[in-house]
Amino acid sequence: MAGLPSGTVTFLFTDIEGSSRLWDEHPGAMGEALVRHDALLREAVEANGGHVVKTTGDGVHAVFETAMNTVAAASAAVRALATEPWPDTGPLRVRMGIHTGAAELRDGDYYGPALNRASRLMAAAHGGQVVLSGRSADEVRNLLPEGLRLRDLGEHRLRGLKRPEHIFQLTIPGLDDQFAPLASLEAFPGDLAVPFPSFATAPEQLAGRERELELLERALTSAIEGSKQVVLLAGESGMGKTTLAAELARRAAARGTVVLYGRCDEEAIVPHQPFVEALRPYIAAFPPSVLRERLHGLEGDLVRLFPELLGRVATVPEQLLNDPEAERYRLFEAITTVLTGAAATQPLVLLLDDLHWSDKPTLLLLRHLLRSASDVPLLVVVSYRDREVSKGHPLSDVLADLQRERWVTRVTLDGLSEAESGELLQSVAGQEVAPQLTAALYRETGGNPLFLGELLRHLIETDDAFLEVRSGGDFDLGEHDLPEGVRAVISRRIARLPGGAEELLTLAAVIGAEFDVALVERAAERSVEAVLDTLDVSELAGLVRPVSERAGRYGFAHDLIRQTLYADLGTAQRARLHARIGAAIEAAPGAEHATAALAQHFTQAAPLGEASKAITYTARAAHEALADLAFEDAVRYF
pLDDT band at residue 481 using 50, 70 and 90 as cut-offs: very low
pLDDT band at residue 482 using 50, 70 and 90 as cut-offs: very low
Query: 312-321, 483-492, 575-584: which has the highest mean pLDDT?
Result: 575-584
Q: What would the pLDDT profile of 414-445 be if each residue is shown by its tens digit? A: 888 888 888 888 888 777 888 888 888 887 77
**In the predicted model, what is the mean pLDDT of residues 544-569?**
81
Statement: residue 9 has pLDDT above 90: yes
pLDDT at position 189:
37
12-21, 71-80, 159-168, 288-297 — which is least confidently predicted? Answer: 288-297
Q: List 7's β-bridge partners, or say none.
A: 103
pTM tops 0.85, yes or no: no
pLDDT at position 317:
58
pLDDT above 90 coverage of the chain, percent: 25
pLDDT band at residue 500 using 50, 70 and 90 as cut-offs: confident
**In the predicted model, what is the mean pLDDT of residues 536-555?**
82
Statement: residue 470 has pLDDT above 60: no
Mean pLDDT (the chain) is 82
Question: Whole-angstrom Cα distance, residue 433 to residue 437?
Answer: 7
CB atoms within 10 A of CB 163: 9
Q: What would the pLDDT profile of 277-309 be if each residue is shown by its tens digit? A: 998 888 887 777 667 776 767 777 788 888 877
**In the predicted model, what is the mean pLDDT of residues 553-575?**
84
DSSP, collapsed to helix, strand or coil, labels residue 629 as coil
pLDDT band at residue 493 using 50, 70 and 90 as cut-offs: confident
CB atoms within 10 A of CB 306: 18
Query: 188-202, 446-460, 484-498, 533-547: which has the highest mean pLDDT?
Result: 533-547
CB 517 within 8 A of CB 544: no
pLDDT at position 611:
76
pLDDT band at residue 191 using 50, 70 and 90 as cut-offs: very low
Question: How many Cα atoms are found within 13 Å in the side-chain-facing hemisphere of 115?
Answer: 26
pLDDT band at residue 53 using 50, 70 and 90 as cut-offs: very high
Q: Are strands 514-516 and 553-556 parallel, antiparallel or unpaired?
A: antiparallel
CB atoms within 10 A of CB 572: 10
Statement: residue 79 has pLDDT above 90: yes
pLDDT at position 484:
46
Question: Whole-angstrom Cα distance, residue 184 to residue 181?
Answer: 8
CATH class of the domain at 7-174: alpha beta
Within 8 A by CB and 6+ apart from 571, the residues are 607
**In the predicted model, what is the mean pLDDT of residues 518-544?**
89
pLDDT at position 289:
67
1-5, 215-219, 511-515 — which is least confidently predicted? Answer: 1-5
Statement: residue 478 has pLDDT above 70: no
Q: What would the pLDDT profile of 606-636 be if each residue is shown by its tens digit? A: 777 777 776 777 777 777 767 777 766 665 6
Question: Whole-angstrom Cα distance, residue 367 to residue 390?
Answer: 18
Statement: residue 448 has pLDDT above 50: yes
**In the predicted model, what is the mean pLDDT of residues 95-120?**
90
Residue 383: φ, ψ to 5°: -110, 145
CB 523 within 8 A of CB 598: no
270 φψ region: left (φ > 0), alpha (ψ -120 to 50), beta (else):
beta
333-347, 486-500, 619-633 — which is least confidently predicted? Answer: 619-633
Measured CA to CA in angstroms, residue 150 lies from 144, 212, 264 at distances of 9, 48, 51
**In the predicted model, what is the mean pLDDT of residues 163-173?**
89
CB 265 within 8 A of CB 593: no
- Would you give the DSSP letter of residue 198? G
pLDDT band at residue 69 using 50, 70 and 90 as cut-offs: very high
**In the predicted model, what is the mean pLDDT of residues 108-126?**
88
Q: What would the pLDDT profile of 383-422 be if each residue is shown by its tens digit? A: 998 877 877 787 888 888 887 788 889 999 988 888 888 8
Query: 8-12, 150-154, 338-342, 619-623: which has the highest mean pLDDT?
Result: 8-12
pLDDT band at residue 185 using 50, 70 and 90 as cut-offs: low
Question: Whole-angstrom Cα distance, residue 435 to residue 441?
Answer: 10
Among 522, 520, 482, which residue's Cα sits nearest to residue 501?
A: 520
CATH class of the domain at 198-412: alpha beta
Statement: residue 228 has pLDDT above 70: yes
Q: What would the pLDDT profile of 507-523 be if each residue is shown by its tens digit? A: 999 998 889 899 999 99
Statement: residue 483 has pLDDT above 60: no
pLDDT band at residue 371 using 50, 70 and 90 as cut-offs: confident
- Would you give the DSSP letter of residue 54? E
Statement: residue 477 has pLDDT above 70: no
Measured CA to CA in angstroms, residue 67 lies from 101, 149, 498 at distances of 10, 14, 73
pLDDT at position 193:
60
